[in-house]
Chain A
Amino acid sequence: MDADIRLTVDGELHELTVDTRTTLLDLLRERLGNTSPKKGCDHGQCGACTVILDGERALLCLALAVAHDGAEITTANGLAPEGELHPVQQAFLDHDAFQCGYCTPGQVCSAVGLLSEVDRGWPSHATADLTSDPELSDAEVSERMSGNLCRCAAYATITPAVQQAGGAR
């Protein structure tokens, strides 16, 4: 079964007819040629497909395209104009917060979402005091980045990278 949807990806509007089984991840990667979000598990377990979906970080592999008519998606490649880098991307470069790079666009988008959540005062499991604004402590960042697996295990450099980007806000 097919359905018609409209989707804005990295600022570009697409009018599409999609198989109702198609995930946003496969739609972007296999039909729109946008391979910035990665497929690592297809089950919402690894975080490699994290993007900003309607303002919040989200996993594209768990999102059926038909359920997101009118959605706006920003991938890691859409965070900054070509030739420039988003502060989170710059911080990942500065800290060498990756090796193979496959989880990296998802990590970057997750960090962007994380900083927005912290700005809005969202607590996490690691937040000791729910009455005050969360700070970007090691524990807070690690907890909030733990939905993004990195098999090269760059965690010890990802956390300071996120903190650097957070400090530069």
Chain B
Amino acid sequence: MTDLLEPRAMGRDLVRRDGVQKVRGTATYAYETPVESPAFCHPVQATVARGRITGIDTEAAEALDGVLAVLTSENAERLASTDDAELAVLQSPDVAFRGQVVGVVVAETSELARQGADLVVVTYAEQEHDSALTVDHPGLYAPEKVNPSYDTDVVQGDVDAELAASAVVVSHTYATAMVHNNPLEPHASTALWDGSSLTLWDSTQGVHPDRKAVCTVFGLEEEQVRVVCPYVGGGFGSKGTPHANVVLVTMAARALPGRPVKLALTRQQMFSLAGYRTPTIQRMQLGADRDGRIRALTLDVVEQTSRIKEFAEQTGVPARMMYTANARRTTHRLAALDVPVPSWFRAPGECPGMFGPEVAMDELAHELGIDPIELRVRNDPERDPETGQPWSSRHLVECLREGAERFGWAGRDPRPGVRREGRWLVGTGVASSVYPTMRQAQSTADVRFEDGRYVVEIGAADLGTGAWTVLPQIAADALGVDVDDVEVRIGDTRYPIASVAGGSSGTNTWGSAIAVAAREFRGKFGTDPRDGDEASGQVDQADTDDEHATYAFGAQFVEARVDVDTGEVRVPRLLGVFACGRILNPRTARSQFIGGMTMGLSMALHENSVWDPRIGQVANHDLAEYHVTVNADVGDVQAHWLDEEDPYVNVMGAKGIGEIGIVGTAAAVSNAVWHATGVRVRELPVTLDRLLTALP
């Protein structure tokens, strides 16, 4: 239990501090950094899915007037570390997946760079590749841990006995699609190497982790590298770790000392080089008593990683804590394929991992003739089933109840496929959501009194989440001053170390560090400081609580309409209720919730990176063919939250909110489509072809 800050600025509906720059377009993103006489890069990509380069002809490219450099594995600098194979760019002639970087052309203009890249001729000794994920892939293996460090398999109790003793068993296989983060701002950078030090303006979710990776790869000292990123045009996880483009732009800069270089991946290149969410196959069993009490839960997950680097999405993890069960088994198996490297995508683990289980809950509710909300209420655990710890706060049931009230759930006819309005079959669905409340180990904030104002510096990131606005609110309450008297500076390694904006942990981590710094400042200088007085605080000096299981909870409600003839699915209503501790700024929080929920809608109905295993490539690698939700796809989207403060998580009483919105939404959509049509779609996305043949 910690003493909560008195909320004066926290909780206020304050307009974004960077709002004016964003609506005018004057907020400067990485590629846009004004520099003198920049050169431009264009990557060359492998055109085979697996093989070895046998020859590179750069003559024509180099002969092009205006081309400044052509880097390939034959002439690129040797990196200090190749431990991270994704970042071992241009270090060997081996090709591990189609689209991998095999060269870069640097030129006076972007047009020349692209033309030069087209002129580079690479020949390959092509090898057989294996890029198709199947549930029984012969290479399936158990990773040592799943992201970031969860146990791969967890077994509790006697699953077989509990299944045998169950009155009802729901047993199905669910699947989620390969999906790409696709932030609107591509992965992009401007880099300048002056001969001894590097300035890297990079679109990143964390300038400090980015710098650390660059230093490791290039063997540089931290003092030699400055990473700057005041604004990020979205990331959703894909900018949480640096990808090959960051190494490539740094190499290009080092090849042209004194000359700033710019590199932005094209949208098409992002489908090979910027990470993605693995497809998941989820074999699920739910065994229950007639009254709905779960006896056994099993979730066996199959997913892919790349042959050169492992990323194991923790899809089975949320099922370990969500509901009661006498016995439970969750496992993860991976196939290492000749595919691009998967990585974080908004709510890794929880997002795909709450699809299968939450649809299975809906199926169980139907089998038992119990309302889906009531089934979840009956299985709401008093303590964390995995650890036995008490919850710091768990208000899932309240979210379900309040959502039901707001959505108009009462009196719902549970029968599927029986409501028709004109051409439309109408149904409603619900699912639960959860996201762990995490605090990272390292972050430092400085507080300085300067010209009558308090300046807080921390190398944090705002991906549109609102950190520019919310961190001053925390600092103001921690210092006990008006929020207008606080300036917070972020997005630069010149400011103290801060953790990545990921895992919905940013506000928790950075805010806790700021609160410590404010406490230190007041302790040293009192309430009447002098100009230049300065104090520092680290997150590991903040109160911690190891006694409780800390999670945010929520419930999403969906109305779906399905055209009786075409199978077209529309979602006129999407409503979420969340229990996430104190909401620090209702304006930016609402945008995060509805943004997450709408991205969940997008996952449910549209997003699908169609993999062509014959050539080893995403076939629909642009935004015309990789569909994301557009304005006309959304109707009434509402986000609500419970008045809550959690005294165990941090002095703000606040849990992370950036990811929970997407969790559960796709299951709620699938459940609503089933209620509308009677067709159970267990594989995402819920597209017309999966409905048409089965429509009544």
Which A residues are closer than 8 A to B by beta carbons? 19, 21-22, 26, 29-30, 33, 35-43, 45-46, 48, 75-77, 79-80, 85, 89, 92-93, 96, 98-105, 108, 126, 138-139, 141-143, 145-146, 148-159
Contacts and interface: CB of A to CB of B under 8 A. Distances in A.
B204 interface: no
B678 to A, nearest CB: 28
A136 B622 CA distance: 31
Contacts of B24: 36, 76-77, 79-80, 85, 89, 105
27 contacts: A19-B109, A33-B34, A35-B28, A36-B25, A38-B185, A39-B186, A40-B186, A41-B267, A75-B25, A85-B20, A93-B15, A96-B590, A98-B23, A98-B464, A100-B183, A105-B23, A142-B631, A146-B633, A149-B184, A150-B184, A151-B183, A151-B628, A153-B595, A153-B599, A153-B634, A155-B630, A159-B631
A35 B29 contact: yes
Nearest to B635: A138
Contacts, number: 191
Interface stretch (B230-238, B299-307, B420-428, B470-478): B230-238
A157 B591 contact: yes
Contacts of A45: 267, 622-624
B366 interface: no
B266 interface: yes
Given A36-B25, A93-B23, A99-B463, 13 more contacts: A85-B20, A85-B23, A85-B24, A93-B16, A98-B464, A99-B234, A146-B632, A148-B631, A150-B184, A151-B234, A152-B591, A153-B634, A155-B634
A155 to B, nearest CB: 4
Interface residues on B, range: 35 or more
Nearest to A76: B25
A92 to B, nearest CB: 5
A152 B464 CA distance: 8
B619 to A, nearest CB: 16
B600 to A, nearest CB: 9
Interface of B: 15-16, 18-29, 31-32, 34, 38, 40, 109-111, 182-186, 231-234, 236, 262, 264, 266-267, 463-466, 587-588, 590-592, 594-599, 602, 622-624, 628-637
Nearest to B109: A19
Given A45-B623, A96-B590, A101-B233, A29 B25 contact: no
Given A22-B111, A46-B623, A99-B595, A77 B186 contact: no
A48 B22 CA distance: 12
The 9 closest A-B pairs by CB, nearest first: A36-B25, A102-B233, A99-B464, A100-B464, A101-B22, A105-B25, A153-B598, A35-B32, A156-B637
B464 A38 contact: no
A33 B37 CA distance: 11
A83 to B, nearest CB: 9
Most buried by A among B466, B602, B622: B622
B184 A156 contact: no
A93 B20 contact: yes
A150 B182 CA distance: 10
Contact of B23 (A38, A76, A138, A150): A76
Given A43-B267, A46-B184, A29 B623 contact: no
A157 B234 CA distance: 17
Given A101-B27, A105-B25, A156-B598, A39 B264 contact: yes
